[in-house]
Chain A
């Protein structure tokens, strides 16, 4: 069986061969611990610092403002939990958008358990945060505010600049989850006053298991992982050198190739959109204009997401589903619910995300397969009258 056509790039991207090549050197031959004094240690340290600088340049940061973590989820935890916990004791309030990735959402819930009051900020039907509503929720006792830069499910790009500026004016730390935005949306921390910003390697054609947190100079989240004091004490533990080098290479390529990647993705995205919108009762979720270059998120009336995903899988196409079906009923996507969609719509939603390596031929093949899958599953569905 040939490899499936991969259209789930928001879940993870393929590893770029150039990234793999850069990493292999750190798996082969002699290696040292970057904290060691000897030459092998120094060599590992050099590789680390090169990667740090590369990662920093993706978002316009200084190298020392980059902390490497095990991934986006850990970066979010260090920022959200770490910033809230280091706030003055009288600051026991957080402002968080209602469309966060589970990483930030669950961190905020953790804060609630720790006694913080959390104001959840709603979105409009396109998933867009209203900056005025967000700003209005900021209070003198707000310890932290957080918003996702670009939504991982529906692909809406949020007005992060306005949110960050509102927080900066009030001296409130602001965390942006840029895991999906990194490499697709121009990010410059000089122009956008975020306090922290999360990135992930495997959304950038880098390896899984590596992430980074931008931490503005002067900002000191309380560490989650304590120990030997690596990464300025913000993330102890011997670094994943090969992973970090992979991240560095991926970040460099993302910066250099962003323009052409985004143009390529947009062309494929719009080709998919034009194709699927010819099928009756298929609706795009998320903002049409303020949208990630690679994201098509659809509600397909009358069919359930998992069945579409696995049906397409049998036809050789890998896409994502928005919800997970489990015992005692589904868990509807909180993002779609926050956008005012029904649970039934949420259960019928799928995500197609293209990448730099996809082709127009693949997209055309997908459109045929998608229409077959939807037609056959609707034939079977008691909830689709057609």
Chain B
């Protein structure tokens, strides 16, 4: 570590390479801001996945100018996969050694600006296609796009694939504005961390901006569900519409065959979704909506590992992610205050708290505050604990009852995604972190299904997932969304039948 700049740095200052701006670029990216004192700006023209032309501009200290110039030289004329692998260390090498102490942020800044230009390129190419297309079905090859969140599971996923001989390209999605560091150019940032991790493994890293898609398909549904008295599962919505589709899009753009995530699950012949080796981390309950043709090209390497092994692998390979905490339940509500989040988005209308016979027991501030099975915050005193048994958004009523009133033996399911024949369904899981209950299924006239449960379960809420498993309990037959019953807000409760 030196306090002064190398001759190479000074040379880039005086003779910057690729300075300027492309008038009609295929991607444009900027990082930093004037208040921080540094701004880097890249424009790229990419065709056939090759960086045909690159131009950069920098306002900032000498380190930023030189790093931008050196980076532009490193990626000019390269395939995007090679360009996206260029790391901070590569830039330093090109600059003749480490930057002076305190100047390392220049490397992060210019790399981020370039990667935002790549991101812009992909996002422009994606357009509306990203929303619905499940991509070309390619299997058999040994190339994979691995989604990286910045956590340990997805990092080890990419690493295992690389070590298994796959060509791996990593991708991190920008999903919402609540991400760590996404508001400031100088603070730790999830994307920057993921990029660093990928580069340390020698892998190319890309980003895709999915904020609009995520907002439309996940966050609005989350808020809207509470408004309609349903209990949403945003992870399911993301897997149904966002994460796998976006990975497949990038794979198609790169000519890659597979997509991979750090989920704990297995893909078996069919394709069928099956439980992972580490059943304590089983995520099949949230993976049921992945369309079969997407699942067919999906790899879940962690399906063969225990979580403890995954951490050990990360530690052994020196990945900084080995020590990252377990991720949040809902990524866009980091403080866990779901109600606070929903309340900010929708106006709560006060209404009555009623019992099952319609007798008014009290008032509440809004149906968005309640979900079926909830015990706390009802605000009505009674001799026995009261539970929300039903939320009726149209009349604004919250129905409460005793615990046994929550028991159901039949569950309506809609929007099904079947991997196997429905007849193979032998049990159904209707809540996260609960055991499947033996059942038989029956198609209804309106295209939905009804699960007849062998034993009553409590706390089944409309909007949650119902996932069917085979008789051996290992494989997912299919899944769907718990529907309302015939009467407003009702599922098929035993007492109603």
Chain A residues within CB distance 8 Å of chain B: 302-304, 306-307, 310-311, 313-314, 323, 325-330, 332, 343-344, 347, 376-377, 379-384
A310: nearest chain-B partner, CB-CB: B62
A306: nearest chain-B partner, CB-CB: B61
Whole-angstrom distance between the Cβ of A68 and the nearest chain B Cβ? 30
Contacting residues, chain A, for B59 (C-beta < 8 A): 302-304, 381-384
CB-based contact A325/B186 at 8 Å: no
B254 CB-CB contact with A under 8 Å: no
Contact with A along B19-58 (1 / 0, CB 8 A): 1100000000010001111111100000000000000011
List 19 interface pairs A-B (beta carbons < 8 Å), by A numbering.
Answer: A302-B59, A304-B61, A306-B61, A307-B60, A307-B62, A310-B13, A311-B14, A323-B37, A326-B103, A328-B105, A332-B37, A376-B14, A377-B65, A380-B58, A380-B65, A382-B40, A382-B41, A383-B59, A384-B59
Contacting residues, chain A, for B102 (C-beta < 8 A): 325-327
Contacting residues, chain A, for B38 (C-beta < 8 A): 304, 325, 329-330
CB-based contact A306/B62 at 8 Å: yes
A328–B105 Cα distance when bound, in Å, is 7
A384–B57 Cα distance when bound, in Å, is 10
A332–B64 Cα distance when bound, in Å, is 17
CB-based contact A327/B13 at 8 Å: no
Contacting residues, chain A, for B186 (C-beta < 8 A): 328-329
Known pairs A327-B105, A328-B186; A382 contacts B62 (CB<8 A): no
**Interface residues of B toward A: which range?**
20 to 34
Whole-angstrom distance between the Cβ of B159 and the nearest chain A Cβ? 29
Which B residues between 112 and 132 are near A, CB-CB below 8 angstroms? none
Whole-angstrom distance between the Cβ of A189 and the nearest chain B Cβ? 40
Contacting residues, chain B, for A302 (C-beta < 8 A): 59
B457 CB-CB contact with A under 8 Å: no
B228 CB-CB contact with A under 8 Å: no
A379–B63 Cα distance when bound, in Å, is 17
B86 CB-CB contact with A under 8 Å: no
Whole-angstrom distance between the Cβ of A341 and the nearest chain B Cβ? 13
Contacting residues, chain B, for A381 (C-beta < 8 A): 57-59
Contacting residues, chain B, for A376 (C-beta < 8 A): 14
A323–B104 Cα distance when bound, in Å, is 17
Contacting residues, chain B, for A330 (C-beta < 8 A): 36-38, 61
Contacting residues, chain B, for A344 (C-beta < 8 A): 34-35, 37
B184: nearest chain-A partner, CB-CB: A329
A379–B21 Cα distance when bound, in Å, is 10
A344–B65 Cα distance when bound, in Å, is 17
CB-based contact A307/B65 at 8 Å: yes
B193 CB-CB contact with A under 8 Å: no
Which B residues between 48 and 92 are near A, CB-CB below 8 angstroms? 57-65
Contacting residues, chain A, for B103 (C-beta < 8 A): 325-327
Known pairs A326-B102, A327-B103; A383 contacts B34 (CB<8 A): yes
CB-based contact A329/B62 at 8 Å: no
Contacting residues, chain A, for B58 (C-beta < 8 A): 380-382
Contacting residues, chain B, for A326 (C-beta < 8 A): 102-103
Whole-angstrom distance between the Cβ of B172 and the nearest chain A Cβ? 22
Contacting residues, chain A, for B13 (C-beta < 8 A): 307, 310-311, 314
B5: nearest chain-A partner, CB-CB: A310
A284–B29 Cα distance when bound, in Å, is 33
B10 CB-CB contact with A under 8 Å: yes
Contacting residues, chain A, for B40 (C-beta < 8 A): 382
Contacting residues, chain A, for B463 (C-beta < 8 A): none
Contact with A along B340-353 (1 / 0, CB 8 A): 00000000000000
B412 CB-CB contact with A under 8 Å: no
Contacting residues, chain B, for A313 (C-beta < 8 A): 10
B229 CB-CB contact with A under 8 Å: no
CB-based contact A310/B10 at 8 Å: yes
Contacting residues, chain B, for A383 (C-beta < 8 A): 34, 39, 59
CB-based contact A325/B41 at 8 Å: no
Residue with the highest number of chain B CB atoms closer than 10 Å, among A314, A376, A380: A380
Given contacts A310-B62, A323-B37, 6 further A-B contacts (CB under 8 A): A314-B13, A325-B103, A330-B37, A343-B34, A343-B35, A380-B16
A379–B37 Cα distance when bound, in Å, is 17
CB-based contact A304/B60 at 8 Å: yes
B63: nearest chain-A partner, CB-CB: A325
A84–B318 Cα distance when bound, in Å, is 53
A329–B19 Cα distance when bound, in Å, is 23
Contacting residues, chain A, for B65 (C-beta < 8 A): 307, 377, 380
Contacting residues, chain A, for B41 (C-beta < 8 A): 382
